[in-house]
Amino acid sequence: MLELIKQPWHWSIAGILIGLTVPALLLIGNKKFGVSSSLRHICAMCIPANISFFKYEWKKEIWNLLFVVGVLIGGFLATNFLSNPNTIVVAESTKASLAVFGITDYSQLMPSQIFNVENIFTLKGFFFFVVGGFLVGFGTRYAGGCTSGHSIMGLSNFQLPSLIATCCFMVGGFFSTNVLLPLIFKLF
């Protein structure tokens, strides 16, 4: 059984389990599935700076912060106790595209050629950590949600704004991957 769990899970298993998070949170306490709000609660908690957008009782949203702490712990547990002994299987065509950028290390879930402590103070690190992270935080809040709040919770509840947001996430991602990344990789 443990051997089976250690294998990478099929997309349908992952999809079903992620989908079940929606009713789980609703049934436990009428909570709407969403992750990016946690970033706002962190702002409200740590640096509200008298900005009206961050002046609310974040303590009422503590469930959301505990939820993301749980995600972090889950990541730790799964990696340390249930991890797949084999390397990740990635589409050959993707591997070929990424090799052009010098991404060839598939020993971990993240490419060591980018997500490496040594890159922190380099231009590469600046783009992939600082700029990328900023766009994620700024964009999700501007859009009012991320993949969880809009694409999963919002679409589950047939919300047209969530469908629009999801389409824009995808358009942004296609543009970024196919147009911006090749330009960014030319810098280093």
Partner 1 sequence: MRIKKSIETRHQDAMCTNESKKSENTFASNLKYLLVGIAFGTIFVKAEIISWFRIQEMFRLQSFFMYGVIGTAVVVGMISVWLIKRFNIKTFSGEKISFEDKKFNKGQIYGGLIFGIGWAITGACPGPLFAQIGSGFLVVFITLVSAVAGTWVYGKFREQLPH
d(Cα 33, Cα 39) in Å, to the nearest integer? 14
What string marks each residue from 43 to 82 as x (binds partner 1 by CB under 8 A) or -?
Answer: x---x-x-xxxxxx--xxxxxx-xxxxxxxxxxxxxx--x
Q: CB of residue 136 vs partner 1: minimum separation in angstroms?
A: 4
Q: Which of 2, 85, 100, 161 binds partner 1 (CB under 8 A)?
A: 161
Q: What is the DSSP letter of 115?
A: S
Q: Is 2 in the site for partner 1 (CB under 8 A)?
A: no
Closer to partner 1 by Cβ: residue 3 or 29:
29
3-state SS, one letter per residue, for 120-186: CCCHHHHHHHHHHHHHHHHHHHHHCCCHHHHHHHHHHCCCHHHHHHHHHHHHHHHHHHHHHHHHHHH
CB of 50 to partner 1, least distance (A): 10
Do the beta carbons of residue 184 and residue 162 sit within 8 Å? no
- Which of 164, 182, 183, 187 contacts partner 1 by CB under 8 A? 164
The answer to whether 152 and 36 are in contact (CB under 8 A) is no
Residue 185 Cβ vs partner 1, minimum distance, rounded to whole Å: 11
State the binding string over 117-146 for partner 1 (x if CB under 8 A, else -): x-xx----x-xxxxxxxxxxxxxxxxxxxx
N- to C-terminal Cα separation, the chain? 45
Beta carbon of residue 61, minimum distance to partner 1 (angstroms, whole number): 6
Identity of the residue, 109 or 123, whose beta carbon is nearer to partner 1 in the bound complex:
109
